Amino acid sequence: MKGFTLADLKRVMRECAGEDENVDLDGDILDAPFENLGYDSLALLETATRIERELGVRMPEEVLSGARTPRLLLDAVASAR
Amino acid sequence: MTAPAPASTAPGTRRGTALVTGLDVRAANGDGTEEFWRSLLEGRGGIGPITRFDASGYPSRLAGEIARDPGEDLPGRLLPQTDRVTQLALACAAEVLRDSGLDPAGAPEYGIGVVTANAAGGFEFGQRELENLWAKGPLYVSAYQSFAWFYAVNTGQISIRHGLRGPSGVLVTGQSGGLDAVGHARRMLRKGTPAVLTGAMESALCPWGHVAELTGGRLSTADRSEDACLPFGERAAGHVVAEGGALLMLEDAASAHARGGIRPYGEVAGYAACFDPPPGSGRPTGPARAARAALADAGVEPADIGAVFAEGAAVPDLDAQEAGAIAEVFGPDAVPVTAITSRTGRPGAGASALDLAAALLAVRDGLIPPTADVGRVPAAYRIDLVTGRPRPMAGDAALVLARGYGGFNSAVVVRRCGPTPR
């Protein structure tokens, strides 16, 4: 099965939560806290729901709340599959 | 029932002048304050066929739509989480701040509050998410639905975006809301908050919102925009839904003058609200009581009022009640009356905010904008309805009247203040 990449994550976040004009999502963001990227907890909840729908996986809330950067979220997605 | 004591006598409050130091309007006939005002003076309306959804199957097919997409003026992060009404409110609020010259960064942390009114909430957003829930399931419902539908969301989003952390709130009083919000904001000033961003915005132009309006039974079913909304006319047969509203910066005069460089539009000099008696009681409805109480709150006599901005429900029995109230307070044909809803349509709580904005511009420029051509006005109404062209306004004060579905009555007195560089 194809992996869920940073590019996929950025696409999903742009679609469901929009993009902060002051942040360059195409820069080096893998370890940047979502907060610094302009995404709050609700934006992450929305993102997680999208990922669950696309991949047919479950992302429990306790896993999600620990995923504070794109890298941690991608790890969480990988372990949920 | 006795009239409520004026707010100035309540403990812990003080009477100060409430200046309007910033203003912005979003209306079907004008995007921005000055375009709206020019349209009113030149007699341009914004009512036309509904284009935002297929309305061909509904009894009412006209609306006052705003052409410009408010999302164009907003950051991308805010778009997926906001209904159109909130986008309108956010774009409008940013302009009010700019217009007022008040910089939140330079104000005390709790120095600027936000009090808005809204009668419908984020209907279009809500309809879309309910459709998702019904057709696809809960995983397809946006997390933002949790607040995007809610009446208070405009206040909240404005507060968050600009860091306005002063006393804030929301009023849900139907069409009266635009005045009630400003009345409440004035109370906040008297309790010591230097400035409050206030007013009302509405937009529910989607099938769900339209059906909710239709159940009220007060919408016009006309197909020609010139017949659609005829307040106080003999042929009045309902009003027209619309989107829009106005927001303003209400500022305590002492702190406004202290920061300097202000260019006030005018003063909110008086406010009052009351409920209608229960149906069937035989007692008179509230507009006259609200009008008298607002005049008393402002410390003015009926003769001091140069124009009345009427609700203009364009529903015969409601028009008769309002005309009767005006004639009762001012005397028959004694004060010029105008109803701009004939131009803008009626955007819920935003309607009374539009009336208030028009009244402020009228006292600023000394001109009363004409009501659209409503045909013959029943002689029994005994009101002097301004039609045709703008009429010079006598005096320096105007009265705004509003009623909300379910028995709400509100009135505001606005007054010109000093030399107006606006």
Q: For residue range B328-344, what is the model confidence (pLDDT) as tens digits?
A: 999 999 999 999 999 99
pLDDT band per the 50, 70, 90 thresholds, residue B119 = very high
Report pLDDT for A3. 83
Q: Are B304 and B414 in contact (CB under 8 A)?
A: no
- Mutate which: A16, A22, A47, vs B, most B CBs within 10 A: A16
Phi-psi region of B9 (alpha: psi -120 to 50; beta: other; left: phi over 0): alpha
Say yes or no: B140 contacts chain A, CB-CB below 8 A: yes
pLDDT in tens, B64-88: 999 999 999 999 999 999 999 999 9
What is the tens place of the pLDDT at every residue in B175-194?
999 999 999 999 999 999 99
B142 contacts chain A (CB < 8 A): yes
Neighbour tally for B147: CB within 10 Å: 18
Could you give the percent of chain B with pLDDT greater than 90? Answer: 90
Mean pLDDT confidence for B131-143: 94
- pLDDT of residue B148 exceeding 70, the answer is yes
List the one residue out of A60, A61, A66 whose CA is nearest residue A80: A60
Tell me the mean pLDDT in the region B242-248: 98
Instruction: Out of B78, B80, B146, name the one closest to residue A16 (CB).
Output: B80
User: What was the pLDDT predicted at B419?
Assistant: 57
Digit-coded pLDDT (tens) for B247-278: 999 999 999 999 989 999 999 999 999 999 99
Q: How confident is the model at residue B154 (pLDDT cuts 50, 70, 90)?
A: very high
Work out the average pLDDT over B364-368: 97
Listed by number, the residues of chain B in 65-124 with a beta carbon closer than 8 Å to a beta carbon of chain A are: 75-81
Helix, strand, coil abundance in chain B, percent, nearest 5: 40, 20, 40
Are B26 and B70 spatial neighbours (Cβ–Cβ below 8 Å)? Answer: yes
The overall average pLDDT reported for chain B is 94
C-alpha to C-alpha distances, B88 to B31, B191, B201, B242, nearest whole angstrom: 10, 29, 7, 13
User: Do B257 and B336 touch, CB atoms closer than 8 A?
Assistant: no
Name the more confident of B9 and B351: B351
pLDDT of B421: 52
Q: Which of B77, B160, B161 to mutate to test the interface with A (most CBs of A within 10 A)?
A: B77
Q: Which tens digits make up the pLDDT trace of B369-411?
A: 999 999 999 999 999 999 999 999 999 999 999 999 989 999 9
Confidence at residue B5, expressed as pLDDT on a 0 to 100 scale: 42
Rounded to a whole number of angstroms, the distance from the CA of B341 to the nearest CA of chain A is 36
Residue B13: pLDDT over 90 = no
Q: What confidence score (pLDDT) does residue B185 get?
A: 98
Please list every residue in chain A whose beta carbon sits closer than 8 Å to the beta carbon of residue B146: 42
CATH at residue A71: 1.10.1200.10
DSSP labels, B281-307: S-PPPSHHHHHHHHHHHHT--GGGEEE
Q: How distant, in Å, are the alpha carbons of A33, B185, B187, B198 from that of A22?
A: 15, 33, 38, 28
Which of A15, A38, A52 lies nearest to residue B139, judging by beta carbons?
A52
Q: Which residues of B touch A17 (CB under 8 A)?
A: 77, 80-81
DSSP, collapsed to helix, strand or coil, labels residue B416 as: coil
Query: What is the span of the domain harbouring residue A42?
Result: 4-18+27-78
Cβ separation B80–A53 shorter than 8 A: no
State the complex-level ipTM: 0.89
Those residues with Cβ within 8 angstroms of residue A4's Cβ, 6 or more apart along the chain or in another chain: A51, A55, A74, A77, A78, A81
Bridge partners for B392 per DSSP: B367
How much is the pLDDT for A64? 85
Q: Are B26 and B88 in contact (CB under 8 A)?
A: yes
Could you tell me how many CB contacts below 8 A there are between chain A and chain B?
37
pLDDT at B97 exceeding the cut of 50: yes
Q: Chain B interface, mutation test: which of A23, A37, A39, A42, most B Cβ atoms within 10 Å?
A: A42
- Answer whether residue B217 shows pLDDT above 50: yes
For A20, which of B75, B139, B146 is closest by C-beta distance? Answer: B75
Instruction: Measure A50 CA to nearest chain B CA, in Å.
Output: 8
Count of domains for chain A = 1
Chain A interface with B: residues with Cβ < 8 Å: 15-21, 38-39, 42-43, 45-46, 49, 52-53
Q: Do B81 and A17 touch (CB under 8 A)?
A: yes
**Contact across the interface for B76 and A42, Cβ inside 8 Å:** no
Spans of chain A below 50 pLDDT: 1
| More confident of the two residues B338 and B3 | B338
